[in-house]
Amino acid sequence: MGHSEAMQRRLVAERLRRELGGTAGTYYELGVDYSVGQHGVEIDLVEAHKWFNLAALSGDRRAQVDRAEVAAEMSAWEIAEAQRQARAWLAAA
């Protein structure tokens, strides 16, 4: 049985707190989780792109490659939404 969106967000927030408070590696791993649907989250390409984008901005080169792969499967609107969410995350940090 899948988790609700609110539960997924709580799981993500808890994982960020546990894993060094949000490093490039943590962001990358969250991108992987959302891109393949593992560790309690369902596949969500917008979320995956957002986390890969944050990891790439933090210097993770793997995230640049994976972000491009995910983007190839997304609409322009979805990419824009993922970028908006990444900017919001940075603004809140």
Predicted local distance difference test score (pLDDT) of residue 2: 55
Give residue 3's identity as a one-letter amino acid code. H
Most confident of 5-9, 20-24, 39-43, 52-56: 52-56
Q: Are the beta carbons of 34 and 55 closer than 8 angstroms?
A: no
Band of the pLDDT at 14, cuts 50, 70, 90?
low
Q: Are the beta carbons of 35 and 63 closer than 8 angstroms?
A: no
Q: CA torsion 11→16→20→26, rounded to 10°? A: 100
Domain map of the chain by residue range?
Answer: 5-92
Band of the pLDDT at 1, cuts 50, 70, 90?
very low
Q: Give pLDDT tens digits for 25-79.
A: 888 988 999 999 988 888 999 999 999 999 999 899 999 999 999 999 999 999 9
